[in-house]
Amino acid sequence: IATPPTDNRVTYFGTITKSSSSTFTISTPKNETFEIKATAGTKYNDKYKFSDLKDQKVVVIASSATISGKTTLTALRVHLLP
C-alpha cells in the first residue's frame, strides 16, 4: 500500500489589508501577516470573486503551503464573512 501524499493545506482567519492583481494580504488576530496568491482554480463562497476582495473584509482562507526555499501560500478556497 502506497503512502498517501502529505496534506499541505493550512487555514487562516483574518482581515484583508491589501490586494493586487493576483495576490492579497491578510492580517490575523495574532498580528501575523500573510501574502496569498489567487489562481484561476481558487474557489469563493456564494457569488463572490477575486475582485470582491477589498480592504477590511474579514475572511477565512483555506490555502496550500508549498515550501521551496520559502513558504508560498496559494488560495484554494476563500470565504468572505458578512
In sequence order, the β-bridge partners of residue 12 are: 61
Name, in order, each residue with C-beta under 8 angstroms of 35's C-beta and a sequence gap of 6 or more.
23, 24, 25, 73
C-alpha cell at 79: 470565504
* pLDDT tens per residue across all 82 residues of the chain: 899 888 888 888 999 999 898 999 999 999 999 899 999 999 999 888 898 888 767 787 666 665 666 777 899 999 888 7
Residue 68: count other Cβ atoms within 10 Å of its Cβ: 6
Distance CA 60, CA 31 (A): 15
For the chain, give the number of residues. Answer: 82
pLDDT score at 39: 92
Question: pTM for this structure?
Answer: 0.80
